[in-house]
Amino acid sequence: MDFAGIISIVVICIIIWGMSRIRSPRTVVDAQSVGKKVADTLGIEHNLFFSSLEQVMPTYLEMLALMERQGMEQADVCVVCIPLLSEGLDALEERFGSQAAITDARDKLRLHVSDS
């Protein structure tokens, strides 16, 4: 099993556990805060970050809030999000065609992965 497969399994486990919680306004605020920090770290526009995650994981807000509550380091949150973002960017590109923002975000993800 490759690294992306392992990360996907971990994310799915986190989501299943997190889905047992009720979505509250605090969850949304926590998730948006974490998401914006991760997007800034990766150099991706906030709206593109959230849209990409939403394409592959409708419960992305719960996932981000859960990682925040569990005290995950931002670098670890980035590692979890990168494969999901990559898939989401592919879905957005398939839906809307080639866009400069998508290409730029994909390049930044590749750069971040190669630096890690």
- Sketch the domain layout of the chain as residue ranges: 3-9+24-115
CA distances from 21 to 51, 80, 90, 110 (A): 23, 20, 30, 34
Q: Are 67 and 77 in contact, with CB atoms under 8 Å apart? A: yes
Mean pLDDT taken over the chain: 86
Angle between helices 60-69 and 25-42 (to 10 degrees): 90
44 confidence band (pLDDT: 50, 70, 90): very high
pTM for the whole structure: 0.76
49-91 tens-digit pLDDT: 999 999 998 888 888 988 888 888 999 999 999 999 999 999 9
